[in-house]
Structure 1
Amino acid sequence: MRKPRARSATASASARPGRGALGREVGWFVVIGLASTVAQALAYWALRRWWPPLSANLVSLLVVTVLNTEANRRLTFRGSTARVLRAHLTAGALFVVAYATTSGAVLLLRHRWPTAPTAAEVAVLVPSFALVTVVRFVVLRLLVFRRRR
């Protein structure tokens, strides 16, 4: 009679979609979120030299959102190609929320401090972008990349 093979901790964590999958997803999402936040802040900073705040925010956020969504689809959630359209459509809806939130933060700053430097605008964009990132994770995980049991 054959002796059953012992499963390693890694094999058992990847076999069950519970805590191991959530931990991996959160880890990738944090890495991608941090990179996206830095990219969005730098893009905004650069575009702000020529454009008004809302235009710079729109373009920087749009570019970063597309890249962020694809990185999260591939790395965080390991989405299938069948979910590409659904992921990007959901990200489009989340983009509207992100743009309203980040633009609102910049407009509030400009209202309170009309001569605020670009550095101050970036300083309010970063936490508002981080807040939107948490919402993105929850929505993408629950609606787009929900695991079937």
Structure 2
Amino acid sequence: MAFIRFVMFGGGVGVLAGFAVTLLAVAMPWAVANAVVTVASTLLCTELHARFTFRKGRGAGWREHWQSAGSASAAYLVTSGAIGVLHLLRPSAGPAVEQMVYLGASGLAGAGRFLVLRLYVFATRSTRPLRRQGTSPVPVLLAA
């Protein structure tokens, strides 16, 4: 159920973010528009995920916001990279094609973000990855 809620909240905000990036990109470089929208949507999504997706019973704290920002940074790189490749391969691509590429890259990055949020940021004892006794936790980087 958490994944379904994640898709509803994160996907809904992601679709709105796609339109916002397109609108802002008229007035500024695409990468800057994507950065502005990524920051705003990450703040909103982190709150929604804390309250509803992972049902913490409260809003997100500073720790969750910072950790979520780390996974959002990776998502920013994925979406910006995808649009950069699109512009290299097809410089005259219109907004509809940009939207498809942006939303596709966002969906892939979102799957990685779900795992990071579920297993680390909003983890409970029952959802944390198991580790052998006597070993220290090793950070895991998920490539999106």
Mark yes or no: TM-score above 0.5.
yes
Q: Distance in 2 between the 1:82 and 1:60 partners?
A: 21
Specify the alignment match of 2:28 in structure 1. 51
Among candidates 53, 63, 69, match of residue 46 of structure 2: 69
Q: Which runs of 5 or more residues in structure 1 are unaligned? A: 1-22
Report deviation, 1:120: 1.6
- Does 1:130 pair with 2:103? no
What are the Cα deviations for residues 26-80 of structure 1, in whole angstroms up to 9, with x where unaligned? 2211111221121111101211221121111111122111111110011011225
- Does 1:144 pair with 2:121? yes
Q: In the superposition, relative to structure 1, how do residues 82 and 105 fare at CA in structure 2: closer, same or farther (>3 Å)? A: closer
Specify the alignment match of 2:72 in structure 1. 95
Q: Distance in 1 between the 2:95 and 2:7 partners?
A: 26
Q: Which runs of 5 or more residues in structure 2 are unaligned? A: 127-144
What are the Cα deviations for residues 87-112 of structure 1, in whole angstroms up to 9, with x where unaligned? 11111111210111000000000011
Larger Rg: 1
TM-score scaled by length of structure 1? 0.78
Specify the alignment match of 2:84 in structure 1. 107
| Percent pairwise identity | 33
Report deviation, 1:83: 5.6
Report deviation, 1:117: 1.5
Q: Distance in 2 between the 1:113 and 1:142 partners?
A: 38
Q: Would the aligned equivalents of 1:44 and 1:122 in 2 still touch at CA under 8 Å?
A: no
TM-score scaled by length of structure 2? 0.80
Q: Would the aligned equivalents of 1:83 and 1:144 in 2 still touch at CA under 8 Å?
A: no
Q: Distance in 1 between the 2:104 and 2:114 partners?
A: 15
The structure in which a higher percent of residues are helix is 1
